[in-house]
Chains A and B, each alone.
Chain A
Amino acid sequence: MLEVKKLVKRYGSKLAVSDVSFKVEKGEIYGLLGPNGAGKSSTINIITGLIKKDSGQVTIGGLDLDRELTKAKYLLGIVPQDLAIYNDLTALQNVKFFGALYGLTGGTLQKQALETLEFVGLKDKARDKVKTFSGGMKRRLNIACGLVHRPQLLILDEPTVGIDPQSRNHIMEAILQLNREGMTILYTTHYMEEAEQLCSRIAIMDAGQIVAQGNLQELRSLIEENWYIAVKVKGTPPVDELSKVAGVEKIDLNGNALRFTCRGKHSQLRDILEVLSREHTEILDLSIDEPNLEDVFLTLTGKRLRD
């Protein structure tokens, strides 16, 4: 559905996208995961034809953007990171206007607009002015405006930034539903939980490059020799003593909760318990964690996703 080959984009001397290649198959949800400034938005802007690339090739549904940009745009739906809707119009007027830009007219336009509003849970508010909406409702309308023309490839650029958990869940459910109906989705986010929950394959981006890509298991396998111990204690944990335990790479401290990054099959668990016992520290909770995408990202780039 979408193929990006050796994409390069510079802003002056800064290399924003460096030799990025990936392929999104029809019917999958493909995630671009990376912190702010990783090059996700630049990549999206090139795919949607907003900015010109310096080199590389992008094809959508077999159409080369260099030669058939307008045709390719009909296959695309875009949900920008920032709200891109008219506050002084109603929800229905917004959705109908953006549907009309893709050639929908008359009864088809009206029908699809109402169906789309129903899909995002705003049918009851169809004739209300957008300025009366909550932030979450605006986010859902933002998605509806990109969906109304039934695109083959939907590009969602961080669609859940700054919204309440209820609206976030609604959006996540809607995305999964669209995918079940056969829509291909390119999803950018810096929330690893979202990428884990939604995406069949993920590309991890940092500093304009894709540092790893694959499904969740493949990505986890990149750091398979790492494992994690989470401990919650009563009182102040003896961090200095714990950091001396052999095989512990790193300790994350959050209040009285500790997360140990361990490498190799050593006796770290026994040693940690011994230190806590010696220091008379009471253990409230203990678990062994699997690596998550945050761990993968941290291991591969040395940075946190939300740094």
Chain B
Amino acid sequence: MRSLQFLKKEGLHSLAAPETVLLMLLFPLLITWVLGTAFSGISARTIDLPEARMPFVSDGGMAAQLYQGNSGHSGITFEPVSREEADSGLMDGSLKQYVELTDKALILHSDDPQGMEAMMVRMYSNAFIQQANLTGLALKEGRLDLAAPQFFEYTRIEGMDGRAEPSSFGYYGVTMLTMILMYGSLQMLSMLSQEKAARTSLRLKASPYAMGKVFLVKTLASCFILMVQAAIIVLFNHFVYGIEYRNIGLVLMMVVPLAVFVTSLGVLSYQVFRTENAASVFLNILTIALVFLGGGYMMVSLDDSTFAALTQFSPIGWVNQGLFQYIYRGSSAPILWAGAKLLGLGLVMYLLAFWLFKKEEGSDRVAAD
């Protein structure tokens, strides 16, 4: 119950400074938008094609029905018209083009053959003809399993080697998330320093509530607040920027070890440096270095060997790589391995900080605090 009261108090501190919380949320969202937009030209991105409407003249035979029926994937809506209407439309300028399908030919009548709609019709028609030829060949060879027409999505994001890559928004949707989690070490530092600054550490130490629990509860509170921030950022990115995370719940679970790691880092820094200013300078420098090494600022390909080498030196890099591999390649092994390493390191740092704390409990320095 006392621990719950403690958690509640930490939450109240956070809510008492809503401007800080807002900044912690707005910062990554804004940076994601700025960098996502700035680098959109050099990254693979989904292009929304306009819906094309195309007048369609046919004899109503089997081929025409198949051609019209399978056009759903192409983004083209074929609208049946009579030949007379189509010809007069072309003559008086009310129509720019139409498609004619007979038993013998598939013809595009167009005043604008290089236009977007004409290009889309040609692309779809080529695919249709190849599919028709393949079906004919399959029937001739008696391969009924290959005879059924198969139309897939025509566009998807691929790298040069044909493997999935994040868009600029997708990239920064991950790296800005991990970056802001990294700043959680400063949040933890502030939580601990606050007790010293307010002199309430004396009351805590004089109370029957064990200081070991104070450490633990503050760590839990910091992790919880970080995860709430992470959830808001991920949901905003997904629903406003349209960034895909494959599975939002799993992605959030995958960054929990990072929250534990940065919180432990904050606790250890506090114990080692003793003053908030010194620890804060150290953590700021470390955060920038780790985010940089982890590919947080500049977009790099998932298959870039330099990037892969650099990320080995940065826990942020482990998580970024792991999340990209999970989201874009469906491989969860890298992020699980990164999580295990982060939890291990976090635990070691936490135990070290706790040992330092116990070592000086009751010492003269405590009273000076």
Give A residues with C-beta under 8 Å from B. 11, 41-42, 45, 48-52, 70-71, 73-74, 76, 78, 80, 82-89, 93, 96-98, 100-103, 105, 129, 145-146
- 11 chain-A/chain-B pairs, Cβ below 8 angstroms: A50-B205, A50-B362, A51-B363, A70-B208, A73-B207, A76-B206, A84-B198, A84-B202, A96-B5, A97-B6, A105-B1
Q: Is the CB of B208 within 8 A of A73?
A: yes
Q: Measured between alpha carbons, how far is A175 from B80 in the docked complex, in Å? A: 96
B312 at the interface (CB under 8 A from A): no
Type the 1/0 row for B190-213, where 1 means its CB is closer than 8 Å to any CB of A: 000000001110111111111000
Known: A88-B12, A101-B207. 7 other contacts (CB 8 A): A42-B367, A70-B210, A78-B206, A82-B202, A85-B198, A101-B208, A101-B209
Report B195-250 residues with CB < 8 Å from chain A CB. Answer: 198-200, 202-210
Q: How far is the CB of A164 from chain B (nearest CB, A)?
A: 21
Given A52-B362, A85-B198, are A100 and B5 also a contact pair (CB < 8 Å)?
A: yes
Q: Measured between alpha carbons, how far is A216 from B8 in the docked complex, in Å? A: 47
Most chain B CB inside 10 Å of its own CB: which residue of A41, A89, A100: A100
Contacts of B274 in A (CB 8 A): none
A149 (CB) vs chain B CBs: closest residue: B207
Q: Measured between alpha carbons, how far is A105 from B200 in the docked complex, in Å? A: 20
Q: Is the CB of B206 within 8 A of A49?
A: yes
Contacts of A97 in B (CB 8 A): 5-6, 9
Task: Assign chain B's interface to a size class.
Answer: 20 to 34
Q: Measured between alpha carbons, how far is A297 from B288 in the docked complex, in Å? A: 59
Q: How far is the CB of B177 from chain A (nearest CB, A)?
A: 28
Q: What are the 8 A-B residue pairs with the smallest beta carbon separation, nearest first?
A: A100-B5, A88-B16, A73-B208, A101-B207, A52-B362, A84-B199, A48-B206, A101-B209
B13 at the interface (CB under 8 A from A): yes
Secondary structure at the B interface, as helix, strand, loop or mixed, is helix
Q: How far is the CB of A10 from chain B (nearest CB, A)?
A: 9
B204 (CB) vs chain A CBs: closest residue: A101
Q: Measured between alpha carbons, how far is A41 from B367 in the docked complex, in Å? A: 9
Q: Is the CB of B205 within 8 A of A89?
A: no
Q: Is the CB of B9 within 8 A of A89?
A: yes
Q: Is the CB of A93 within 8 A of B199?
A: no
Contacts of A87 in B (CB 8 A): 198
B26 at the interface (CB under 8 A from A): no
Q: Is the CB of A83 within 8 A of B362?
A: no
Contacts of A11 in B (CB 8 A): 364
Contacts of B204 in A (CB 8 A): 101
Q: Is the CB of B203 within 8 A of A78?
A: yes
Given A76-B206, A89-B12, are A51 and B362 also a contact pair (CB < 8 Å)?
A: yes
Q: Is the CB of B200 within 8 A of A85?
A: yes
Q: Is the CB of A86 within 8 A of B363?
A: no
Contacts of B144 in A (CB 8 A): none
Most chain A CB inside 10 Å of its own CB: which residue of B199, B202, B206, B364: B206
Contacts of A52 in B (CB 8 A): 362-363
Q: Measured between alpha carbons, how far is A273 from B30 in the docked complex, in Å? A: 85
Contacts of B12 in A (CB 8 A): 88-89, 93
B22 at the interface (CB under 8 A from A): no
Type the 1/0 row for B8-21, where 1 means its CB is closer than 8 Å to any CB of A: 01001100110000
Contacts of B363 in A (CB 8 A): 51-52
Type the 1/0 row for B354-367, where 1 means its CB is closer than 8 Å to any CB of A: 00000000111011
B140 at the interface (CB under 8 A from A): no
Which of B9, B13, B205 interacts with A49 by CB under 8 Å? B205
Contacts of B367 in A (CB 8 A): 41-42, 45, 50-51
Q: Is the CB of A84 within 8 A of B203?
A: yes
Q: Is the CB of A102 within 8 A of B362?
A: no
Contacts of B2 in A (CB 8 A): 100-101, 103
Q: Is the CB of A50 within 8 A of B206?
A: yes
Contacts of B9 in A (CB 8 A): 86, 89, 93, 97
Q: How far is the CB of B218 from chain A (nearest CB, A)?
A: 13
Q: Measured between alpha carbons, how far is A129 from B204 in the docked complex, in Å? A: 21
A73 (CB) vs chain B CBs: closest residue: B208
Q: Measured between alpha carbons, how far is A78 from B208 in the docked complex, in Å? A: 12
Given A82-B199, A100-B2, are A51 and B207 also a contact pair (CB < 8 Å)?
A: no
A9 (CB) vs chain B CBs: closest residue: B364
Contacts of A83 in B (CB 8 A): 198-199
Q: Measured between alpha carbons, how far is A76 from B202 in the docked complex, in Å? A: 13
Given A93-B9, A93-B12, A98-B203, are A50 and B366 also a contact pair (CB < 8 Å)?
A: yes
Contacts of A98 in B (CB 8 A): 203, 207
B15 (CB) vs chain A CBs: closest residue: A88
Q: Measured between alpha carbons, how far is A103 from B4 in the docked complex, in Å? A: 12
Q: Measured between alpha carbons, how far is A49 from B200 in the docked complex, in Å? A: 15
Contacts of A78 in B (CB 8 A): 202-203, 206
Contacts of A48 in B (CB 8 A): 206
Q: How far is the CB of A173 from chain B (nearest CB, A)?
A: 24
Q: Measured between alpha carbons, how far is A76 from B207 in the docked complex, in Å? A: 8
Report B320-359 residues with CB < 8 Å from chain A CB. Answer: none
Given A51-B362, A52-B363, A85-B198, are A145 and B203 also a contact pair (CB < 8 Å)?
A: yes
Q: Is the CB of A84 within 8 A of B13?
A: no
Q: Is the CB of A88 within 8 A of B17?
A: yes
Q: Is the CB of A102 within 8 A of B206?
A: no
Most chain B CB inside 10 Å of its own CB: which residue of A11, A42, A82, A84: A84
Which of B16, B202, B210 interacts with A50 by CB under 8 Å? B202
Which of A41, A42, A80, A100 interacts with B1 by CB under 8 Å? A100
Contacts of A73 in B (CB 8 A): 206-208
Type the 1/0 row for B25-61, where 1 means its CB is closer than 8 Å to any CB of A: 0000000000000000000000000000000000000
Q: Measured between alpha carbons, how far is A51 from B369 in the docked complex, in Å? A: 11
B2 (CB) vs chain A CBs: closest residue: A100
Q: Measured between alpha carbons, how far is A11 from B200 in the docked complex, in Å? A: 23
Q: How far is the CB of B280 from chain A (nearest CB, A)?
A: 19
Which of A42, A45, A49, A89 interacts with B16 by CB under 8 Å? A89
